[in-house]
């Protein structure tokens, strides 16, 4: 029996007492936890110590590299195209990956978008796409490379071999109240993205009511930390700080967000979804060597739509098939004339989750037709009786709890009242 070089209890005490772990200590800790030598309760104590006391820049870098080293690293060197990926920290109505990946790929760039599923009020990209009949999330590495070479865009589940230490640690953080921790979030996201092998990465880091990190200063710190990690690892990395105080677009759910994404690819769609899609596409294409690409033209002339259809079909989906429709709907109307002055994102995300669009546990299924369709956004005028939003579910018994979460979530004021949006959609750009 081999002798372990460190005692995990000693390492926990170091972080408990606000000390710094060395590179060999972090390497051993991640390896020992991955192979089961360090127990879950011990790693839980370490995660809480990190949550409470933080980590230095070197520690975060070492943690990220150790998680990468726990599994395989992909390579796209065999592709003739440059690669660039995007990651969003998630929000309410955030379906940007769906139109963005084919839009960027329509310029001859490979977009390997390894995505996840939703948990809580933030939706998962894979859950949305599984609304499309036949579409499959699981691809082998050979299938992924072949589709990148042919179509240019892939949105699929990450393989089990990428950063398995992160997968194990994330599941633990989720049940121990240690999710909202910048060192752990940054190392979790960036270990997977760096292991994925992309040459460049654009991060959409959200702040506001419906965001993972609600405080703008904390979101900025997270963005700066991730940009440093990417840059230090040789991945060209840029981050946009974006506003998630108001739901993004008009659709919140799964099938309805696919529908809205297709509208954007057809040259339409809500202005905020188009604005963010175009901004992120420009950043991705600039990193891929095309800073002057005419992004809007590929939305208008059908090139992005052609790539979307090819991407969906390559993963056995039918881009022409009808999307799931809800069995029950409930329309909420304005009780007075006025102007919508506030529409807080988080309660709408929780309401969609209660309707069945999200899951409380990772094992739960989602209801693809469940969700919310907004008829108005802050700044819109309404008259008494006008529809404000429509709730969709497969069981009308779900409406009561969804409506509970929306009490006080929106305001109809008088003309001239201040409209609360939390500022512009794109607040800042952060580079290495």
List of domains in the chain: 8-54 (1.20.970.10), 85-321 (3.40.1030.10), 328-413 (3.90.1170.30)
Q: Specify the pLDDT at position 365.
A: 81
Using alpha carbons, select from 326, 340, 316, 328 the residue that is nearest to residue 388.
Answer: 340
Q: Is the pLDDT score of 361 beyond 80?
A: no
Q: Which of 174-178, 361-365, 374-378 shows the lowest per-residue confidence on average (mean pLDDT)?
A: 361-365
Active site residue 57: no
The model's pLDDT over 92-111, given as tens digits with 9 standing for 90+, comes to 999 999 999 999 999 999 99
Q: Specify the pLDDT at position 81.
A: 94
Q: Is the pLDDT score of 422 beyond 70?
A: yes
Q: Specify the pLDDT at position 117.
A: 75
Confidence of residue 177 (pLDDT cuts 50, 70, 90): confident
Q: pLDDT exceeding 90 applies to what percent of the chain? A: 86
Active site residue 354: no
Q: Specify the pLDDT at position 374.
A: 98
Q: Is the pLDDT score of 7 beyond 80?
A: yes
The one catalytic residue among 85, 94, 166, 373 = 166
Query: What token pair was written down for 421?
Result: 């949006």
The model's pLDDT over 295-346, given as tens digits with 9 standing for 90+, comes to 999 999 999 999 999 999 999 999 999 999 999 999 999 999 999 999 999 9
The one catalytic residue among 44, 106, 131, 188 = 188
Active site residue 368: no
Q: Is the pLDDT score of 214 beyond 70?
A: yes
The one catalytic residue among 95, 117, 173, 342 = 173
Residues 237, 201: contact at Cβ < 8 Å? yes
The one catalytic residue among 61, 87, 354, 398 = 87
Active site residue 188: yes
pTM, entire model: 0.94
The one catalytic residue among 167, 192, 309, 398 = 192
Active site residue 191: no
């Amino acid at each position: 029996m081999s002798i372990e070089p460190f005692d995990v209890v000693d390492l926990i005490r170091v972080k408990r007492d606000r000390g710094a772990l060395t590179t060999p200590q972090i390497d051993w800790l991640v390896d020992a936890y991955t192979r089961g030598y360090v127990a879950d309760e011990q790693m839980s104590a370490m995660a809480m110590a990190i949550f409470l006391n933080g980590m230095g820049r070197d520690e975060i870098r070492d943690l990220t590299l150790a998680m990468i080293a726990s599994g395989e690293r992909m390579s796209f060197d065999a592709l003739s195209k440059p690669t660039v990926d995007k990651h969003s920290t998630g929000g309410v109505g955030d379906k940007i990956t769906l139109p963005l990946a084919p839009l960027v790929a329509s310029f001859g760039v490979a977009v390997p978008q390894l995505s996840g599923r939703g948990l809580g009020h933030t939706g998962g990209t894979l859950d949305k796409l599984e609304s499309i009949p036949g579409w499959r999330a699981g691809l082998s590495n050979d299938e992924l490379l072949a589709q990148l070479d042919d179509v240019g865009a892939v949105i699929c589940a990450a393989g089990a071999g990428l950063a398995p230490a992160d997968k194990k640690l994330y599941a633990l953080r989720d049940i121990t109240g240690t999710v909202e921790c910048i060192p752990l979030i940054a190392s979790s996201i960036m270990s997977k993205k760096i292991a994925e092998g992309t040459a460049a990465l654009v991060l959409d880091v959200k702040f506001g009511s419906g965001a993972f990190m609600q405080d703008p200063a904390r979101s900025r710190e997270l963005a700066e930390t991730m940009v440093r990690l990417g840059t230090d690892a040789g991945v060209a990395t840029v981050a946009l700080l974006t506003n998630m105080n108001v739901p993004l677009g008009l659709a919140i759910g799964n099938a309805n967000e696919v529908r809205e994404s297709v509208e954007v690819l057809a040259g339409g769609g809500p202005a905020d979804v188009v604005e963010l899609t175009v901004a992120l596409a420009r950043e991705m294409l600039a990193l891929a060597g095309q800073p002057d690409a005419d992004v809007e033209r590929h939305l208008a002339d059908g090139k992005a739509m052609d790539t979307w259809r090819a991407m969906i079909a390559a993963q056995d989906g039918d881009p022409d098939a009808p999307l799931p429709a809800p069995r029950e709907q409930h329309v909420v109307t304005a009780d007075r004339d006025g102007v919508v002055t506030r529409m807080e994102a988080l309660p709408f995300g929780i309401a969609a989750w209660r309707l069945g669009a999200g899951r409380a546990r990772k094992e739960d299924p989602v209801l693809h037709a469940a969700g919310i369709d907004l008829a108005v956004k802050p700044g819109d005028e309404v008259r008494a009786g006008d529809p404000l939003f429509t709730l969709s579910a497969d069981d009308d018994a779900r409406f009561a709890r969804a409506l509970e979460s929306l009490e006080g979530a929106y305001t109809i004021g008088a003309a001239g009242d201040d409209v609360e949006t939390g500022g512009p959609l794109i607040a800042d750009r952060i580079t290495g």
